[in-house]
Amino acid sequence: MSTYLEDKRNVTTQRLLEMKQRGEKISMLTAYDYSMASIIDKAGMDVILVGDSAANVMAGHTTTLPMTMEQMIYHAQCVRRAVKRALVCVDLPFGSYQGNSKHAVQSAIQMMKETGADCIKIEGGSEIKDSIERILSAGIPIMGHLGLTPQSINKFGTYAVRAREESEAQKLIEDCHLLEDLGCFGIVLEKIPAQLAKQITGELSIPIIGIGAGPYVDGQVLVMHDMLGINKDFSPRFLRRYADLFETIKEAVENYIQDVKEGDFPNEKESY
């Protein structure tokens, strides 16, 4: 059995830092409900992210923007009830922290109080500096999120790779340093060139978790529905599928329908 499965201690932000220091990669995956979170936690995941990607994979929206505080709180409560070991991180939804730092800290406090999450994740750099400072001053650990930030999709206009241009890469590097200096415990970097992610990972002492950011970061995160092949509409180059649950589930459901139609289910043993 691997050491990460033998190690029953709760994962904390401090332990993630220690993992970076000793070169142990950090595993992170999204979950939105009790049953899946329970499986993922028992498998030995380090960080479970209640992502606002719930908007896409749970609710069928085309962007993450419609997600509300109430919806994120509901998903986070379901996940929290299941998770015994992993660090539970929750996305603050679009509109709950941008623009007004007082509103931001209220949102973060509400999220922590009502869900029992261990930390929150927010998207952005210098433009949300005040919100980051206020949330941290309330004692709430923050994971930053830079590069492709889906809550700003209307500003970018595309989900293409970010920071290929020198000026954007420079701003990204500065934002990463800013987040570390402010006191964020980690940063997710989404869809940026691998060499840029490597440089940032080397310069910062806090853990860098990549999604579409290449192999030279401190850990990896994926959306659960994508890596399990439940959601087959999304096939970016960075995605590795570990199962084809769409087909597995469809086949099981087809067999069930057939058994019902043919009067084969339930049989005598399955009846009272």
Which residues are the active-site residues?
Answer: 190
Instruction: Tell me how far, at minimum, the Cβ of 53 lies from ligand KIV, in Å.
Output: 3
Residue numbers 62-91 binding ligand KIV by CB under 6 A: 91
- Token duo for residue 121: 């994740």
Nearer to ligand KIV, 44 or 210 (CB): 210
Show the binding pattern over residues 100-139: x = contacts ligand KIV (CB under 6 A), - = does not: ----------------------------------------
Q: Which of 13, 53, 98, 131 binds ligand KIV (CB under 6 A)?
A: 53
From 6-14, 45-53, 70-78, 233-241, span contacting ligand KIV (CB under 6 A)? 45-53
Taking the C-alpha atoms of 88, 43, 83 and 246 in order, what is their torsion angle to the nearest 10 degrees?
A: 80
Among 41, 52, 118, 180, binds ligand KIV (CB under 6 A): 52
Q: Could you tell me the CA-to-CA distances from 271 to 253, 266, 267 in Å, in that order?
A: 20, 7, 6
- Least distance from ligand KIV to the Cβ atom of residue 151, Å: 9
Say how far apart CA 172 and CA 163 lie, in whole Å. 7
Binding mask 210-229 for ligand KIV (x = CB under 6 A): -x---------x-x------
Footprint on this chain of ligand KIV (rule: CB under 6 A)? 30, 49, 51-53, 91, 145, 188, 211, 221, 223
